[in-house]
Amino acid sequence: MWRDPLFWLVSVAVACAMEFWARGLHDRLWHGPWWPAHRSHHVPRKGPFEFNDVFALMHASIAIVLIVGGFHANAGRASHVAIAVGYGMTAFGMAYFVVHDGFIHGRLPVGFLSRFGWLRRIRNAHNVHHRTDAAPYGLFLGPQELRQTRRAPRSSSIGN
């Protein structure tokens, strides 16, 4: 499994795809019907946790089931792919936790990350999201999403 290029391809592809999955959920559910839970993330936190953390636990549970289930299943392509998907989800979750919760919101001592311009742009884009409750909804591609939102053509009544 560890030497299988498909395993690593699936893991990396899933980790990258999670940005788009998270952005879609954030836009359509977190700022939609699940706003009562997500609102806790948009107000000052009291203590180390917020109700919004339940969403991370939900995704972590899915990754754990895939990894553990894959290891307990008969060894084969399907079990390896399940483990790879779980690893990809976990890799994204860890990166998200360090950058979003740790760096942007100060829940971990990772201030040294401000040395990296790309991470500062991510933090700035996320701060725009918190000020406006609008796009960007993504994290790692938040700066690009913010640029696209600002460049979106405005509707015009001319010619209508």
pLDDT digits (tens, 9 = 90+) for 77-110: 999 999 999 999 999 999 999 999 999 999 999 9
Angle formed by the axes of helices 5-25 and 77-96, nearest 10°: 50
What's the pTM? 0.89
DSSP-derived secondary structure letter, 66 = H
Mean per-residue pLDDT, 58-78: 95
Question: Between the CA of residue 82 and those of 58, 90, 137, what are the distances in Å?
Answer: 17, 12, 27
Question: Between the CA of residue 7 and those of 51, 54, 59, 70, 146, what are the distances in Å?
Answer: 34, 29, 20, 12, 33
Residue type, 152: A
Of the pLDDT bands very low, low, confident and very high (cuts 50, 70, 90), residue 1 is confident
The single residue listed with the structure tokens 């742009």 is: 121
Residue type, 15: A
CA–CA dist 67, 86 (Å, integer): 5
Q: Residues of the chain with pLDDT > 90: what percent?
A: 84
CA–CA dist 55, 37 (Å, integer): 9
Instruction: Say whether pLDDT at 155 is over 80.
Output: no
Given a contact cutoff of 8 angstroms between Cβ atoms, the answer to whether 114 and 91 are in contact is no
How high is the pLDDT of residue 151? 66
Given a contact cutoff of 8 angstroms between Cβ atoms, the answer to whether 99 and 139 are in contact is yes
The single residue listed with the structure tokens 């990166």 is: 95
How high is the pLDDT of residue 149? 77
**Domain boundary assignment for the chain:** 5-110
